[in-house]
Structure 1
Amino acid sequence: MSKNVKTIKELADELGTNKTRISRIINKNSIPTQKIKNKIVLEDNSVSLIRQYFKNETQLQNETVSILRTELDKAHSHIEKLSNLLDQQQRLALQDKKLLEEYKAEINDLKALKMPSQDTKEEQANSQPQEELETLKEQIRALNDKIKGQEQLNNQVSKKWYQFWK
């Protein structure tokens, strides 16, 4: 036996692991061993095989970490985009709310114009042209439709971000 030999314990200490792990690698990969004085020893070629196994394992771990980092960066990018979209949605909802309030105020103004006092109601109806009344009615209907549309849009926009997938 002129070759250098190492015990499993010596190799485990050198590689920074434990004897059990080295034994599992030996059994899993059918690495040749010898028994000297009730101790299992490894020759240089077996030690080289185990070192190569650790080197390959380390490379695999590094590749996995690299892939995970890439996926994490992609997820972070998606989160940023979703956050921006949520901010935009909230701004739009606020704009819609303001427009809705403006439309309601405008409708109230039109309603005030439309409702004459009781004593002059007949006089105004007789003196006001029929076309002008129809135009005002159309404007009121159009504004009511706008308000309904804005309320529907506001209801749609005010959904929470976590309900997008429902």
Structure 2
Amino acid sequence: MTENLKTIRELAEELGVSKKKIHYQVSKLDTDLIQRLDGTIYLDKSAISKIKSSMGYTSMVRVDTSNIQNRHELDSILDNEKNKLINYLKKQLDKKDSQLSTKDEQIKSLVEINKQTQNLLDQQQMLALQDKNLLEEYKSEIKKLKSLNILKQGSEKDDYIPKENPVAGTKKKKKKWWFF
């Protein structure tokens, strides 16, 4: 059963990477691709191929040179594998280029949004300054009106002089409070 399965250590040794790297890739896999027996994690062929593809490894064909009679056959197999690798790398570069163009578009839109936000902020500050100036004008007008009103009231008080009380000539007796 375990001849078709590999442990994390075996796969790490085969790929020449650390066990931590393989363990990280395993953590991203579905649990149905992983088998646990006695605390050991075993990976099947599909899990191994997914790990290899996520780490950028291509499926290279191992060729037994003892079975090949002709050097020309070996060169054609190697050329074929090189072409596969080149095509894979081209696809990866195209993928990265499309991601970069998408990021460039996103950056442009964010810059435009930033400009709009700055413009709105400037407008808000101008309106706040206008409001402040209007408030100051209103306050000064209110002070002027109050001062005019106080002067007007003061002149009316000067015009009013109370007349003497005709009964004032008679003396009133002061009553003492303790008689009550």
Query: After TM superposition, which residue ranges in structure 1, 4 or more long, deviate above 3 angstroms?
Result: 24-29, 121-125
Q: Which runs of 5+ in 1 are unaligned?
A: 1-19, 126-166
1:72 aligned residue: 107
Asked if 1:52 corresponds to 2:87, the answer is: yes
2:137 aligned residue: 102
User: Could you say if the C-alpha distance between residues 111 and 118 of structure 1 is closer, same or farther in structure 2, counting changes exceeding 3 Å?
Assistant: closer
- With CA pairs under 8 Å and 6+ residues apart, which has the higher RCO, 1 or 2? 1
Give TM-score scaled by structure 1 length: 0.51
For these two proteins, the number of residue pairs brought into alignment is 102
Larger Rg: 2
Letter of the 2:137 partner, please give it: E
Asked if 1:85 corresponds to 2:132, the answer is: no
What is the alpha-carbon root mean square deviation over aligned residues?
3.4
Aligned to 2:151, what secondary structure does the other structure show?
coil
Distance in 2, matches of 1:80 and 1:96, equals 24
1:155 aligned residue: none
Q: Pick from 33, 38, 61: which aligns with 2:96? A: 61
2:60 aligned residue: 31
User: Could you say if the C-alpha distance between residues 100 and 68 of structure 1 is closer, same or farther in structure 2, counting changes exceeding 3 Å?
Assistant: same
In the alignment, is the contact (CA less than 8 A) between 2:58 and 2:85 conserved in 1? no
State the shift of 1:79 in Å. 0.3
Superimposed CA distance per residue, residues 82-131 of structure 1 (whole angstroms, 9 cap, x where no aligned partner): 01011111111111111111101100011011113775333679xxxxxx
Distance in 1, matches of 2:146 and 2:133, equals 20
Q: Which runs of 5+ in 2 are unaligned?
A: 1-15, 17-51, 67-74, 161-180
Distance in 1, matches of 2:135 and 2:96, equals 57
State the shift of 1:28 in Å. 3.6
In the alignment, is the contact (CA less than 8 A) between 1:33 and 1:46 conserved in 2? no
Give TM-score scaled by structure 2 length: 0.48
Instruction: Name the % identity.
Output: 31
User: Could you say if the C-alpha distance between residues 59 and 91 of structure 1 is closer, same or farther in structure 2, counting changes exceeding 3 Å?
Assistant: same
Superimposed CA distance per residue, residues 35-90 of structure 1 (whole angstroms, 9 cap, x where no aligned partner): 659xxx96122111101110000100100000000000000000000010111111
